């Protein structure tokens, strides 16, 4: 391990960075999907009222 400390730290940093980006994208995507579904429901309700 003492010979490869640089590569161990580099790999750990990349795994942490990738995990952080993945969680961030999933979190923002979930909110976007929730908002889109809410907008579609409201739009559908408005169209039903006009009929």
Read off the pLDDT of residues 13-48 as tens digits, 9 standing for 90 and up: 999 999 999 999 999 999 999 999 999 999 988 887
User: What local confidence, expressed as pLDDT, does residue 9 receive?
Assistant: 95
The DSSP code for 1 is: -
Give the count of domains, the chain.
Answer: 1
pTM of structure: 0.67
Q: Give first-to-last CA distance, the chain, whole Å.
A: 72
User: What local confidence, expressed as pLDDT, does residue 24 receive?
Assistant: 98
Range of the domain at 23: 2-50
Using alpha carbons only, what angle is made at residue 38 by residues 26 and 27, rounded to the nearest 5 degrees? Answer: 10
User: What local confidence, expressed as pLDDT, does residue 1 receive?
Assistant: 60
User: What local confidence, expressed as pLDDT, does residue 45 receive?
Assistant: 83
């Amino acid at each position: 391990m003492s010979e490869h400390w640089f590569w161990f730290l580099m790999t750990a940093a990349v795994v942490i960075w990738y995990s952080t980006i993945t969680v961030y994208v999933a979190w923002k995507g979930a909110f976007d999907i929730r908002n889109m579904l809410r907008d579609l429901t409201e739009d559908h309700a408005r169209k039903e009222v006009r009929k």
